[in-house]
Amino acid sequence: MKKRNLGKNNLEVSAIGLGCMGMSFGLGPAIDRQQGISLIRAAVERGVTFFDTAEVYGPFTNEELVGEALAPFRKQVVIATKFGFKLDPSTGKQAGLDSRPEHIKEVAEASLRRLKTDVIDLFYQHRVDPNVPIEDTAGAVKDLIQAGKVRHFGLSEAGVRTIRRAHAVQPLTALQSEYSLWWREPEAEVIPTLEELGIGFVPFSPLGKGFLTGTISEDTKFDKSDFRNVVPRFSPENRKANQAVVDLVGTLAKQKKATPAQIALAWLLAQKPWIVPIPGTTKLHRLEENIGAAAIELTQEDLRQIDNAASKIAVQGARYPEELQKLVGR
């Protein structure tokens, strides 16, 4: 597996990471714990060194899973986790945002225990908290870095102004946001800003929450616990309309003797050398398929063809329901 550096801070990771959320949360029922451990360890054996989790995935159970799975390989891997939500102590449900410095430090201690480690490699603010100045948030993470409990600071789904303000207090190593062939908004302002400041980019949902794999149609039924049920872009009529994007990826996949998922990931890798996508999966064959994307080279002509064809497709449906959309880009 090829390696990449996230930003100027020399955080070296595998060119493709593993998003672990879906093993415990968000995309249907959690998978069996032992199955999750085996899958994460299979990723390590195949060269993946970058693993993404968060306290709210579960909540807590995903960090515990990742911690147990990676304990034997701790020195070989990079673990990213996140803070920034308030969790109801009795139910564990999300109850708003909380990036107060004292809360960040409490979350760090709890995450360290669950991850069975003495340092968090990359600590992201999960969503920007409008009630706490970003300078205070960055300062709290700076304290954790100076204490040796955190190595690198990141933001998730933040807007350009917030990125600049945070970076001025504690240099950011990475921004994590959604980016893929069917969500290209970061190209307008975010990616140029990251390039200017020397910050890496970690696209989540690089396969469009599974849509770009070509395995989801307008007739697909999701489990009742699956987040995609409330995503406007995944309404049956929008899935039908958005099939054009999948067809585009599928056409190039045939030419390259690859799968649609591999083309979608290779496209992301070709955008910038400091972009590291984190596709998630619960299946070994999908893990191997995703890893295979790192070996696919798209030429400038391939990229031009994709851009020309994609520019003629208007993707239908919002990527988040309204209440979640309010939490991004701040």
Catalytic residues: 57
CA atoms of 294 and 203, how far apart (whole Å): 15
In angstroms, the first-to-last Cα distance of the chain is 35
Q: Are 53 and 62 in contact (CB under 8 A)?
A: yes
What are the start-end ranges of the H helices in 199-321?
A: 236-256, 260-271, 284-292, 300-310
Ramachandran assignment for 7, one of left (phi > 0), alpha (psi -120 to 50 degrees), beta (any other): left
Nearest-angstrom CA–CA distance, 125 and 109: 15
Q: Which one, of 162, 232, 176, 235, lies nearest residue 205 by Cα? A: 176
> What residue type is assigned to position 280 of the chain?
G
